[in-house]
Structure 1
C-alpha cells in the first residue's frame, strides 16, 4: 500500500469500504486488513483514527444507524399519502436492501462488538431497534390520520414488520425478495389493523 498519501474524510472512506466488504464477503470477511485494502490505504490508517478494530466497527454501526434519520423523516412525511402497505413495502425494502442486514449479521457475529455497543445502546440490535422505532412512528401517524384502526397496536406491529422483513432479506447470497412478496408479508401483518 502506498504511504504518505493524504486521504480526505478518512472515517467515511473506511466506513464505505467496510460496507462494501461486509456486503461482498459477510461478517467473517470483515477484517481491518480487508477494510484498509478496500479503502486503498495502509492498515495503520485505521488504527490512527480508532482505538482498535472493534471500536471502528462500533462507530460504523452507530454511523449507519444515525443515517436512518433521513429515511425515518421521509417515511413520516409519507403518512396520509399512498397506500399504507405500499409505504411500508418501500421503507422495508430500502432498509433491508442496504447494508442493514449485513450489519445485523455483523453484530450477531462479534461478541466484542456487541459488548461495545451495549455501552451506548443498552438493548437490541441498533439497526433493527432504530428501524422498529421508525416504523412505529409512521404507523402511529397513520393511525392518527384514521388510516389504521384506532386500536392498532403500533408498538407490536412495528417489530413484527421488522422481523418479517428481516427474514425475507436475510439470505445475502440469494436474490432479494420481489416487491410483491414484501407487500404480501406487510399485508399479512397490518391487514387486521386496516379500517374496513
Structure 2
C-alpha cells in the first residue's frame, strides 16, 4: 500500500493539498470523530473519490499529513547535531526541546486519530514493525547528538544514550499533549525549568 502517490500523467490541481489541509483542520478542531471522507471532501471542495485516488486509504492520508511536518523535525534534529561541542549544553537542550515541542504539537491530533482507531493502529504498528519507519526513529538523531557530546567529554561518560534520548523526546511530547488538552499555549513548565531539571542527569562532572 503506498498512500500519498499521484497517478502518472495527471496534473496537480491543488486537490491533494486541499485534502491534506482539510484533514489537518478537522483533526485539530474536532478530532477523529468527524474525520470521515465525506467531511474531508466537503471541506476540501473535492470529490470523495479523489481522497482514495491520492492517498489510497485513511492510513495513507494520515501518514501524508504527518509527512508534511517531518521537515520541521529534521531541521531541529540536524541543527542540534551540528551544535554538538558548540555553545552550552543548556542552550542546545532548550533548542531541542522547543523544536520537538513545536513538531509534536502539529502531529499530536494525527497520532490521536491513529490510536483511536483499532484497525489504523494495528496497520500502523505492522508497517513499522521492522524499525525502518515509525516514531521510534525520532530517538536516532538525539542519540547521535548525545554520543558526540559524550565523545567530547561534555556529558557523562557512563550516560546510557537511548534512555536519555527517550526522556528528552518524551518530555517534549508530553508538553505538546498538555498544550493540546488544556488549550493553553504556555506549557505546564517553561523550557528553562525543564532544562534545569534534566541537565544534572546528563552533564559530565
Give your verdict on TM over 0.5.
Answer: yes
Match of 1:175 in 2: 184
Secondary structure of the 2:61 match is helix
How does the TM-score come out when normalised to structure 2?
A: 0.75
Match of 1:184 in 2: 193
Write the distance in 1 (CA, Å) between the matches of 2:130 and 2:193. 30
1:29 aligns with 2:34: yes
Equivalent residues of 2:101, 2:173 under 8 A apart? yes
CA shift digits 1:95-153 (9 cap, x unpaired): 232313223322221222222222321179x6642322232222222222222111122
Distance of aligned partners of 1:53 and 1:104 in 2 relative to their CA distance in 1, 3 Å threshold: closer
Write the distance in 1 (CA, Å) between the matches of 2:35 and 2:165. 30
C-alpha deviation, 1:94, in angstroms:
2.4
Match of 1:140 in 2: 147
C-alpha deviation, 1:86, in angstroms:
2.5
The correspondence of residues 5-24 of structure 1 with structure 2, limited to 5 A, is: 7-8=12-13, 10-24=15-29
Secondary structure of the 1:119 match is helix
1:118 aligns with 2:125: yes
Equivalent residues of 1:108, 1:114 under 8 A apart? yes
CA shift digits 1:5-62 (9 cap, x unpaired): x75354444333322332233333333233333333222210222332233224434x
Deviation beyond 4 Å, 4+ runs, structure 1: none
Write the distance in 1 (CA, Å) between the matches of 2:121 and 2:153. 39
Pick from 83, 95, 115 the counterpart of residue 78 of structure 1.
Answer: 83
Distance of aligned partners of 1:46 and 1:101 in 2 relative to their CA distance in 1, 3 Å threshold: same
Distance of aligned partners of 1:193 and 1:159 in 2 relative to their CA distance in 1, 3 Å threshold: same
How does the TM-score come out when normalised to structure 1?
A: 0.77
RMSD of equivalent CA atoms: 2.9
The size of the alignment, in residue pairs, is 189
Equivalent residues of 2:155, 2:204 under 8 A apart? yes
Write the distance in 2 (CA, Å) between the matches of 1:101 and 1:85. 26
1:159 aligns with 2:166: yes
